[in-house]
Amino acid sequence: MIIDFLRKMDFPVYLAPMEGVTDGAFRRICKEYGADVLISEFVSSDALSRDVEKSIRKMDFTEGERPYGVQIFGSNEAALVSAAQHAAAFHPDFIDINWGCPVKKIVSKGAGAAILQDIPKMVALTSAVVKAVDLPVTVKTRLGWESADKPIVEVAERLQDVGIQAIAIHGRTRAQQYGGEADWTLIGEVKNNPRMHIPVIGNGDINSAEKALEYQARYGVDAIMIGRAAIGNPWIFRQIKSLRSGEPCQEPDYGERVSLVMRHLRENEREKGERVAVIEMRTMYAGYFRGVFNFKPKRIKLMSATTLKECEEILHG
């Protein structure tokens, strides 16, 4: 059970689910570098009930990725329950419900963060999913819909009451999207609410090993979740482990960066085909080569490369 797993771990660090980023290849790399818990990209319950091949591929994982959760989103009870059952058939360690996505296309259908405007429905849908599967169900959400309405403390209690086993909170409202700064004070309030007994996972703006440890200590959360700072930067997980154990933080050299990028590309080529692998990697170079002197000319060339061979030649050039 995820909850046992989380409780047994000293300081679990999650790789945040990120559509278009946290595919199998990237999850496995992050795991190797020290991410403790992995979650799929979000899977649309509507698309799944039509059995779309891409959604099926998104849920799949390898044994080495455990503990692993499949994240689903939707707003229709029957579709959400069916998606959860579909996902459960892959035997992940948990099912995560996305009640935090701010994207217009999704909230306009009442899914993701839109549900924060209708807490009774949020509770009812979550309860239906909990009852429908034999796996732990967790929720990832935000503080609320907008600044005047941040019901997260009550929301967390009510979701706990219907049986979720952990809650991840991104310290922003939907209205903030990704702007401004994440506010962790309410995450801390959820954690310190004496009625809460499930693990609380803090998320938002953790961009260094130092900040991860500092926020965990300051807000007392059971786990930390890292999103954007891990894009093209799986080393952040290794740095957290090093900092905790007092070992020196290893900075990757250029050779390590290149070999990781090539591995990422090759694994994605196998899973998605060369074209998609090469194009998707374009958003990752800035992270993979952050701080590398004079990398920009190579990055510009990589933006128009269409084959793995070209990428390799540019990187080794």
Ligand X SMILES: Cc1cc2nc3c(=O)[nH]c(=O)nc-3n(C[C@H](O)[C@H](O)[C@H](O)COP(=O)(O)O)c2cc1C
Type and span of the H or E element at 121: helix 119-132
Closest to 18 in 3D by CA, of 259, 209, 232: 232
Cβ-based nearer residue to ligand X, 20 or 317? 20
> In DSSP terms, which residues pair with 173 in a beta bridge?
144
Q: Which residues contact 214 (CB under 8 A, 6 or more apart)?
A: none
Report the site for ligand X in 152-191 (rule: CB under 6 A).
Answer: 170
User: Does 140 participate in binding ligand X (rule CB under 6 A)?
Assistant: yes
Give residue number: closest CB to ligand X.
Answer: 227
Binder of ligand X out of 199, 227, 234, 287 (CB under 6 A): 227
> In DSSP terms, which residues pair with 144 in a beta bridge?
173
311 is catalytic: no
Cβ-based nearer residue to ligand X, 30 or 101? 101
Helices (H), 232-284: 235-245, 254-272, 274-281
User: Does 57 participate in binding ligand X (rule CB under 6 A)?
Assistant: no
Query: x/- string (CB under 6 A) for ligand X, residues 78-117?
Result: --------------------x-xx----------------
User: Does 21 participate in binding ligand X (rule CB under 6 A)?
Assistant: yes
Report the site for ligand X in 257-316 (rule: CB under 6 A).
Answer: none
Type and span of the H or E element at 313: helix 308-316
Cβ-based nearer residue to ligand X, 214 or 247? 214
Closest to 227 in 3D by CA, of 18, 10, 5, 65: 18
Q: How far is the CB of 316 from ligand X (least distance, A)?
A: 28
The identity of residue 170, as a single letter, is H
Both tokens assigned to 305: 């490369």
The residues that touch ligand X, with contacts defined as CB under 6 A, are 16-21, 41-42, 71, 98, 100-101, 140, 170, 203-206, 226-229
